[in-house]
Amino acid sequence: MEYKKYNNIKLGIVIFKSVISFLLIIGFVYFHFSLMLENYIRIFSSNSYVLLIIFILITGFVGIILFSPLNYYKDFYLEHKFNLSNQTFGRWIFENFKGLVVSLVIGIPILLGFYFILNRFGQFWWLPFAFLLFIISVVLARLVPVIILPLFYKITPLEDEELKGRITMLAEGAGIRVENVFKFNMSKNTKKANAAFTGLGKSKRILLGDTLLDNYNKDEIETVIAHELGHYKKKHILKNLIIGTVASFGMLYIISILYSVSLQWFGFKSIQEIAALPLLSVWAMLVGLIETPLSNILSRKFEYEADEYAVSATNKPEAFISTLNRLTDQNLADRNPHPFVEWFFYSHPSIENRINTIRKYIERNSTGNENLGLEET
């Protein structure tokens, strides 16, 4: 089965890349290459903040070079092999370059802020840094739909007035005031389809990929949007913000303890030593092994709740089930991954589990199949 092969290859690459990254960082510090690099940069600058930026740029550049063959295979070759990509090689390079520039523009100030906090607050750096990350996440949530996404996609108001009216009514039913509904040219990169509800406050946007608009009827698109609005109606956005913030504080505290304890293992004396900072990545990766399945459990629960809302809000269960099936085929998603793989890696339930849960929900809440418009099977 093509979808099994595609997903197993991608998962294998992700795991392989994570393991190799972990080992390379350990080796980089253990064999004192990080210290050698720091000492070499100090020849040109004694300013710790300049040194940090150069250190990050050099290590980041080396990482890009080392993993470029693997990234090419996973993100370009594999997508074309399974007929999922519309990108030329030049377009792929250009999009990745834009992503790198945006990451640097956002990431470098965060790193400088982190290093300032590390020097200012010492062992208690994790607390103010967690507050900083919270503020940044809120700001980015407002900026992404109106500033960052337009750098990558052409975003224009939806022209289909009937569909726009349906979506507006759904939004009102979910308690959301939406100024406009937008479409974006997802097809410039991929044959996959998607939609999203994004942003905070006045930057809230409903976004529809042109691959969705061109291949699905209005009832199907309506159920997809209802699912996205279900996340708002069920307060998943607020819950994720609160839980994510609490988890961030807890994880950063644990990482700070492990970082301080491990310094002497590698011959470091201070948490401020730039050569020691890669150890933070090591501990973040290990703590992430515990955090990832836990956050995915919560995410899957929210997805089930949004599915139920989509069915109840539209009263079109068969259209929704049809859409889920078609999206799974179009995006070449794995219909029935191994239970452990789904538990650990999947933020969304598998399509088989989603459809089974939807049908159980319909059976529990319907007084008759005909009232829900559910076809006999």
pLDDT by residue (tens digit) across 234-245?
988 889 888 988
What is the rounded distance in angstroms from the CA atom of residue 103 to the CA atom of residue 220?
35
pLDDT of residue 179: 67
**Lateral strand order in the sheet of 181-184:** 155-157, 181-184, 205-209, 195-198
Positions in the chain short of pLDDT 70: 179, 366-377
pLDDT of residue 177: 77
What is the rounded distance in angstroms from the CA atom of residue 149 to the CA atom of residue 58?
28
42-63 pLDDT per residue, tens = 999 889 999 999 999 999 999 9
In contact, 280 and 290? CB cutoff 8 Å: no
> Which tokens in the block code for residue 166?
């349906």
Q: What is the DSSP letter of 348?
A: S
> Which tokens in the block code for residue 76?
């370009």
Q: Which long-range contacts (CB under 8 A, 24 or more apart) does 358-361 make?
A: 358/307, 358/308, 358/311, 358/317, 358/320, 358/321, 359/321, 361/307, 361/308, 361/311
Contacts of 287 (CB under 8 A, 6+ apart): 251, 254, 255, 258
Task: Name the residue among 234, 231, 227, 236 with its Cα closest to residue 317.
Answer: 227
pLDDT of residue 364: 87
What is the rounded distance in angstroms from the CA atom of residue 295 to the CA atom of residue 347?
8
Task: Name the residue among 35, 26, 109, 112 with its Cα closest to residue 273.
Answer: 35
* Predicted TM-score (pTM) of this structure: 0.88
To the nearest 10°, report the CA torsion of 250, 255, 257, 260: -160
The structure tokens 């179009």 sit at 330
Handedness of CA 118, 119, 123, 127 (dihedral sign): negative
Give Dmax (Cα) for the chain.
Answer: 78
At position 91, the amino acid (one-letter code) is R
What phi and psi, each to the nearest 5 degrees, are found at residue 205? -140, 140
